[in-house]
Amino acid sequence: MVYSLHIVSLPVKKTFVNHLNFLQMKALLFFAAIVCLSYLSACNKDDNNQNNGTKLLISYTSSLYLDTINYSYNSSNELIQTEDLEDRSTITINGNQLHYIEYRKTESRQVADATFTLDAAGNVVTGQGSFSYSISSPYTTQFTFTYDASGNMINRTDARSGGMTYSYDFTWSNGDMVSQIWKLNGALYATNNFIYYTDKDDKNQINGYNFLSATNSFTGNSSRHLFKNISTIFAPGTTVTDEYGYAYTLDADGYPTTATITGITIPSTDIAVYHYQ
């Protein structure tokens, strides 16, 4: 059974997300409690990979970015489709293979087609695919993913046919991803730092930093808590070039119902509204 969901992403500005780690591809629109891909079977998930909450986030709306992201889940509550006004990303599981397709609706063409292998814990470990985000510059990529003993992704590497290698190192503390170091051909390109509300659990467990689209499984653990602050520093400098702060209202079960995202380096205010099934 597939649940078609209506959702906009969790807050982080569109331009910020592009800087984050998807410069090579169309990023999620805006995210902010952003969202956390099955393995040998779509039913045997490790607890760390499941959305263990009693609610499914079905929509997220933004007062600043007039778009909606639609999320679809399978009967195991695994996020298998993300769709906004411009793009649709779809995941299909067949045994220990995960097939990812991204379709650009605004251009009526497919821009990504990749297949990944899942390990015994249900997490992506290797992959390969073809991409044409820029129609004039298509490329192929070989992916590798590495996890620590606790199930946290600590590295993702994309080695491309054009000779460029994109590598992302993730650091974890207190159950949260606190930094992401982005390297191009082994040289530091940017560092993203994350601060959390340690008294506010992220019950949606949707992650958008570790894969090609938002997921709530298939990529190890998601951060335990809700974002409080996200900032970016581009090498070789030390100056924060993008920074956003987050404030939430929660429902009686601790799920966020609204988020106020405040641009610090570039002043702005976005009010995000979350909707649940």
Given this model, what pLDDT does residue 85 score? 87
Given this model, what pLDDT does residue 58 score? 87
What CATH number has the domain bearing residue 240? 2.40.160.150
Structural domain of 212: 3-276
Given this model, what pLDDT does residue 92 score? 96
Given this model, what pLDDT does residue 37 score? 25
Cα–Cα distances in angstroms (integers) from residue 275 to residues 9, 58, 202, 217, in the given order: 11, 6, 15, 20
* CA-closest candidate to residue 273, choices 249, 245, 254: 249
Given this model, what pLDDT does residue 217 score? 93
Given this model, what pLDDT does residue 35 score? 32
Is the CB of residue 35 less than 8 Å from the CB of residue 52?
no
* CA-closest candidate to residue 273, choices 59, 29, 30, 15: 59
Given this model, what pLDDT does residue 31 score? 36
pLDDT by position in tens, the chain (length 277):
443 333 233 444 333 333 333 332 333 323 333 332 222 222 333 434 444 457 998 888 888 888 888 888 998 999 999 898 899 999 999 999 999 999 999 999 999 999 999 999 999 999 999 999 999 999 999 999 999 999 999 999 999 999 999 999 999 999 999 999 999 999 999 999 999 999 999 999 998 889 999 999 999 999 999 999 999 999 999 999 999 999 999 999 999 999 999 999 999 999 989 999 8
Total of domains in the chain: 1
What does the H/E/C string look like for the chain?
CCEECCCCCCCCCHHHHHHHHCCCCCCCCCCCCCCCCCCCCCCCCCHHHCCCCCCCEEEEEECCCCCECEEEECCCCCEEEEECCCEEEEEEEECCEEEEEEEECCCCEEEEEEEEEECCCCCEEEEEEEECCCCCCCEEEEEEEEECCCCCEEEEEEEECCCCEEEEEEEEECCEEEEEEEEECCEEEEEEEEEEEEEEECCCCCECCCCCCCECCCCCCCCCEEEEEEEEEECCCCCEEEEEEEEEEECCCCCEEEEEEEECCCCEEEEEEEEEC
The encoded tokens of residue 9 equal 């992403």
Given this model, what pLDDT does residue 200 score? 97
Given this model, what pLDDT does residue 123 score? 97
Whole-structure pTM value: 0.82
- Cis amide linkage into residue 236, ω under 30° from 0: yes
